A and B are shown apart, each in its own frame.
Chain A
Amino acid sequence: MVTTALGTERARRPVLGSILQDRPHVILLALPVFLFLAFLIYPLLLMFVVSVRNYHPNLIVGPRLTLENYVRFITDPFYRTVLANTLKLAGIVSVIALLLSYPVAYYLSRTASRLKGWLVFFLLAPLMVGIVVRTYGWIVLMGRNGTINRALLALGVVDEPVRILFTDAAVIVGLVEVLLPYMVLPLVSALQKVDVTLEAAAATLGASPVEVLRRVVIPLSLPGVISGVVIVFTLSAGAIVTPAVLGGPRMQTMGTLIYQLMTATLNWPFGSAVAFILLAFEAIPVFLFFAIVSRASAERGRA
């Protein structure tokens, strides 16, 4: 073995020093990577293992390997209804949020207004205030003696307070409001990437503003639409606070069901299985979009 001068010098340096010199990223990343493996990846694996165990009244997590938790969910009409209602709710919330956000996102991506900084600030600040405060705000607005009811009474639209709180509509409005910023952000970043000159070119070639929007801007901003819808769909399907508070005690969604199973019923195997089932169904908008996009491009190919 040939030992070069450089090689022996290298060997003589303290081990730690040489790692720091040659692979500084290993030192920098070692602890964070370890923490993520220990407190994110391992717990998720554990959760899967728990979901394929039987429920034991004393141990909670029984010793037997089984698929009964998944089977129970799929075969019980009650749970299937909860799943269907949750997916419907998440779908409605996503579509409304998308329609409300798109014009605002387009404006934010194109404007040079001095107000833009503040518009971004007031879009994101409510997000930071937290879900519980905002949900309480909706109680004040939608309650029996709430602002909306008193306004309706004063205007003579209704004779007695109407029930707004504890309805599906209340949950939808609350979720749309809470999640709107999550829709606007990816839309803005996708729209910023759409070259303004393309729009100008289309307009010069005789496309009407609606056509420019439909055939240039919207198709090119699809990646933003997809990520916005995926985020909002996922967050509304898994929401706990908004459905529990604005939907009332009888409202049951996947989020409230899982919360109840994990903290009140203490059936952890079943609760974990339900959480995995929800995760699987949260991929629906992704598949839906890829189906739409591939069909659209196939049609364009034929035309």
Chain B
Amino acid sequence: MGRRLFGAYLALFYAFLLAPVVVAALTSFNPTRLNLFPPVGLSLTWYREFLRAENFTHAFFAVSLKIALIVAVISGALALPVAYALSRYRFFGRSLLQTFFLSPMMVPQMVVGIALLLLFARYTFADELRIVIGHVIITLPIAVRAITASLQGTDPSLEEAAKSLGANPLQTFYRVTVPLIGSGLLAAMLFAFTLSFTDVNVALFLTGPRTTTLPVEVFAYLRWESTPIIAAIASVQVALIFAIAISIHRLIGLDAVLKY
């Protein structure tokens, strides 16, 4: 009895958690201007509208997608040496540096955005670079964590073996370590991509006229009106991100990245 009651609670909990995501995606099939769920018909009108809306397609493909790809590469490239140094070497100040690199998770994202806005008012950076920098700062901790998780699963003696066979540190790193933790690195980059692609709190303060990211564009639209065009965009985004989430889950497990 108690078991069944708890099962029902668990189902309700997950229904509550997933409802807005599912609803947002499925509303896109509505033929009307009203945001109706369940949809009253099955039409692709709003997908066509999305592809015709220059502001949204530009924000999606030319800004958000591009920035997220760049952020994924930079964040992965920076997180790899950080994670490696912190988990393979013992040196003075190591735990302090560990906290230092996880610190952006303790600063609210909005504050990161504001602080960078003030910095960029003083030193000029290209519009896109501003957002890339902001996103690298907020994605780095999670990328470090993902790579650290997979480094801890590999045996350091493999690296020792390579070194004793005459490989120099760089060779060891790129030909032994990186292949061993490839899944962690890939997961880190996918995660950085996702965080960058969906971020609003930092981008709100850093977007320029031609560099409005998709979430900021949608947010600005939603403040005044809402039509199923947002649902069409949402469904594309949900499909993309669920595919990424499943990949990360298969690679190293989502909980390995997000644990506290």
Contacts and interface: CB of A to CB of B under 8 A. Distances in A.
Contacts of B194: 128
A128 B241 contact: yes
A136 B200 contact: no
A146 interface: yes
B9 to A, nearest CB: 6
B103 to A, nearest CB: 7
A152 interface: no
Interface residues of B, number: 87
Interface string A15-57: 0000011011101110111011001101110110010000000
B116 A43 contact: yes
A281 B198 CA distance: 27
B244 interface: yes
A266 to B, nearest CB: 10
Interface stretch (B16-24, B41-49, B146-154, B178-186): B16-24
B118 A259 contact: no
B70 interface: no
A119 B23 CA distance: 20
B200 A44 contact: no
Contacts of A270: none
B108 A279 contact: yes
A136 B110 contact: no
B30 to A, nearest CB: 10
A129 B137 contact: no
A52 B196 CA distance: 32
Contacts of A67: none
A216 interface: no
B198 A145 contact: no
A127 B142 CA distance: 14
Nearest to A246: B222
Interface stretch (A74-82, A232-240, A289-297): A232-240
A121 B257 CA distance: 12
Given A39-B116, A129-B241, A140-B231, A177 B205 contact: no
Contacts of B34: 145
Contacts of B218: 132, 136
Interface stretch (A3-11, A100-108, A154-162, A196-204): A100-108
Interface residues of A, number: 83
B71 interface: no
Most buried by A among B38, B118, B222, B245: B118
B252 interface: no
B84 interface: yes
Contact of A125 (B24, B204, B241): B241
A127 B254 CA distance: 11
B118 A47 contact: yes
A24 B173 CA distance: 11
Nearest to B249: A121
Contact of B215 (A39, A50, A132, A259): A132
B230 interface: yes
Nearest to B109: A238
A100 B13 contact: yes
Interface string B232-260: 00100110011011100100011100111
A31 B245 contact: no
B51 interface: no
A130 B198 contact: yes
Nearest to A279: B111
A129 B239 CA distance: 9
B18 A32 contact: no
Given A185-B258, A241-B201, A268-B118, 4 more contacts: A47-B115, A123-B17, A128-B194, A139-B226
7 contacts: A104-B13, A128-B241, A129-B238, A177-B16, A177-B19, A262-B117, A272-B118
Interface of B: 6, 9-10, 13-14, 16-24, 27, 34-38, 78-79, 81-82, 84-85, 89, 91, 94, 97, 100-101, 103-104, 107-112, 114-119, 121-122, 133-134, 136-137, 140, 169-170, 194-195, 197-201, 204-205, 215, 218-219, 222-223, 226, 230-231, 234, 237-238, 241-242, 244-246, 249, 253-255, 258-260
Q: Which 8 A-B pairs have the closest CB atoms?
A: A137-B20, A130-B198, A43-B115, A137-B24, A28-B81, A28-B85, A25-B85, A186-B260
